[in-house]
Amino acid sequence: NAGVMQNPRHLVRRRGQEARLRCSPMKGHSHVYWYRQLPEEGLKFMVYLQKENIIDESGMPKERFSAEFPKEGPSILRIQQVVRGDSAAYFCASSPGQGLANEKLFFGSGTQLSVL
Amino acid sequence: GIQVEQSPPDLILQEGANSTLRCNFSDSVNNLQWFHQNPWGQLINLFYIPSGTKQNGRLSATTVATERYSLLYISSSQTTDSGVYFCAVVMILTGGGNKLTFGTGTQLKVEL
């Protein structure tokens, strides 16, 4: 039973390019979360998605960042026109989405984005 | 929003020593998790502990929800315990789902 899979593990982009980060949740999980970890800091919530719906994006920067979780395929976090300040580790987590008050979140290994 | 603070920020131990890490939070929460982030960046779930005490091998955790703090105990530390320890409080999002707010972390280094 594979865990949460993220790819690529490392991504290098030049300023102004686009970055696409992919996350495949655990089998049977329908809820996906994205978190960002800046150097020397804890993880910060970005967005919460269910299949084909963005439920809460209160942690997403207002510009250049978008996320989707299509009916088929992985969740994608997209960063347009990257800047050096976007350099960070981006973690994806998933949960079963059974409506329980205290479902566990399972984290992937993260994608380390480096902007040159 | 809720504030989560951890102490100490940095800790160096000799192998075999014991330690206690603390997590304070500013408001009532639905649940609390402890994580270990290893030197390769992977996040490992340690405990899911809204209240009371749990033990897993050399690790144990206690949460006193009414006083808004949690403690992580590491006994007989080993070099493989090195890394960053995070606590994260769990809040239920409008529309379902759980949001984690992470603390500032404790950087632990265990030396031979």
pLDDT, tens digit (0-9, with 9 covering 90-100), for A12-31? 999 999 999 999 999 989 89
Residues of B in contact with A95 (CB under 8 A): 97-98
Is residue B104's pLDDT more than 60?
A: yes
- How close is the nearest chain A Cα to the Cα of B2, in Å? 12
The dihedral through the CA atoms of B74, B76, B81, B83 has a sign that is: positive
- Average pLDDT in chain B: 93
Best mutation target among A23, A32, A48 (most B Cβ atoms within 10 Å) is A48
Determine the straight-line distance between the first and last CA of chain B, rounded to whole angstroms: 41
User: Which residue in B has a C-alpha nearest to residue A88's C-alpha?
Assistant: B41
The dihedral through the CA atoms of B27, A43, A109, B37 has a sign that is: negative
Cβ neighbours, 10 Å, residue A91: 26
The pLDDT score that the predictor gives to residue A102 is: 66
Closest CA to A62 of A39, A75, A84, A46: A46
Kindly determine whether residue A109 and residue B100, on different chains, have CB atoms separated by under 8 Å: no
Burial of B31 (0-12, 13-18, 19+ CB in 10 A): buried
Q: Reduce the DSSP state of residue B80 to 3 states and report it.
A: helix
Kindly report, residue by residue over B5-60, the tens digit of the pLDDT. 999 999 999 999 999 999 999 998 888 999 999 888 889 989 999 999 999 999 99
- Average pLDDT in chain A: 92
Kindly determine whether residue A95 and residue B99, on different chains, have CB atoms separated by under 8 Å: no
User: Which residue in A has a C-alpha nearest to residue B41's C-alpha?
Assistant: A109
Kindly report, residue by residue over A50-102, the tens digit of the pLDDT. 988 999 999 999 999 999 999 999 999 999 999 999 999 999 999 887 656 56
The pLDDT score that the predictor gives to residue A94 is: 93
Is residue A1's pLDDT more than 60?
A: no
Report whether B2 contacts B26 (CB < 8 A): yes
The pLDDT score that the predictor gives to residue A77 is: 98
